[in-house]
Amino acid sequence: MIYHLIRGALRAVVTVVIATIACTPAPGERLLITSGFTDQIFVLDANTGRVTDSLSLDRRPGERDGPHSVAVSPDGSHFYATLSHGEPSLWKYESKGLRLVGRLTLPTNGASRIRLSPDGLVAAIPDYWLSGGGMVSRVTFVGTEDLNVIASPELCAAPHDAVFSPSGDRVAVTCSLSDELVMVDTDGFRETTRFKVGENGDRPLNAAWTLDGRHLLVTLTTRSKFVELEVAAAMRQTSQVMTGDQPAQLAIAPGGSTVVVANRGSGSVTITTTDGTRRTEIDVPGAHPHGVAFGRDPSVAYVTYEGDTRTLGGVVAIDVETGEILWQTEVGSFTLGVAVLP
């Protein structure tokens, strides 16, 4: 999805705390937030929303390089970010000291989400090449220890997400321009299954595995819903849950069935269950909700919003049991990625 660029330079970063925290995320947790139009990663205190640090990913002064996604290793020792424009690349940081320790130029036209294998040894980065006119593009698999390209198979038009199964043996790739889901075996990184998702133009964008690895939830951004797919030799759709307009990212709460969906078009967040039996939709006090992440506390979700031509982007913390917004922080612009750093 191509978003309209914000005109003019941002001159300030404003932090706003709008509510007293009713739930308390695990002590010491921090948030990592990517700001695509200021070429930064902002570091926030997860309990209060206070900005504590920022990192510059500005490869081309005067140009927008577009940090898109951020992901934290399972042991919390490192985190990784993608740079989408100019020279698409993967950046590796040590969590202690927030020190850059490696950078890899990717063999792609762009770079969207980062997904890590359960052991943290492999990263998957799709080439969300919308401007390619429907040409087939790649998902690049990178060894995280030394940032070496393991494989870069051409799979489908504009893949946006490539998420590892809980067992780590498969990767589910959402293909936004061909309305497909492609399954890749991590033994050799070869395609094993291709499944049509929805109808023509539904645009599957992001995915999440259920904890048992038997089902996938996939957002259909033009249909305002996510679908549940049974992962088997013959894949099939088992249910669908309506969301707000243009659902972007979704995440399943740790150890539970609660699902949180950021709805970019309607400016809202849908809090539901994997089967849709409970559903709440709340407005976000910022334009174009985009990213969703959980820390160790399953009752608190963090949702980024991009901002628009008149307002900054930022992030909100939401109590998923009550729908209460615990705090809001305006930070950066075209604010997309969010991850929790222990």
In the chain, the domains with their CATH numbers are 30-200+287-341 (2.130.10.10)
Residue type, 232: A
Sign of torsion, CA 247 316 31 288? positive
| Residue 298 neighbours by CB distance under 10 Å | 15
Percent of the chain with pLDDT over 70: 92
Give the pLDDT of residue 326: 98
Give the pLDDT of residue 5: 34
Phi and psi torsions of 130, nearest 5°? -65, -35
Percent of the chain with pLDDT over 90: 80
Pairing between β-strand 122-126 and β-strand 99-105 as defined by DSSP bridges? unpaired
Give the pLDDT of residue 119: 98
pLDDT surpasses 70 at 10: no
pLDDT band at residue 129 using 50, 70 and 90 as cut-offs: confident
| Residue 41 neighbours by CB distance under 10 Å | 24
Give the pLDDT of residue 65: 79
| Residue 145 neighbours by CB distance under 10 Å | 12
Pairing between β-strand 159-164 and β-strand 154-157 as defined by DSSP bridges? unpaired
pLDDT surpasses 80 at 131: no
149-202 pLDDT, tens digit per residue, is: 999 999 999 999 999 999 999 999 999 999 999 999 999 999 999 999 988 889
Cα–Cα distance measured from residue 194 to residue 174, given in angstroms and rounded to the nearest whole number: 10
282-311 pLDDT, tens digit per residue, is: 999 999 999 999 999 999 999 999 999 999
Sign of torsion, CA 327 330 334 339? negative
Give the pLDDT of residue 27: 64
pLDDT surpasses 60 at 1: no
Residue type, 42: F
**Alpha-carbon separation of residue 342 from 7, 74, 206 (angstroms):** 35, 10, 24
Average pLDDT, the chain: 90
- The candidate with the shortest Cα–Cα distance to 50, out of 293, 291, 319, 330, is 330
Sign of torsion, CA 321 261 190 194? positive
Beta bridge partners of 271: 260, 280
194-228 pLDDT, tens digit per residue, is: 999 988 889 999 999 999 999 999 999 999 999 99
Cα–Cα distance measured from residue 212 to residue 78, given in angstroms and rounded to the nearest whole number: 26
Give the pLDDT of residue 23: 56
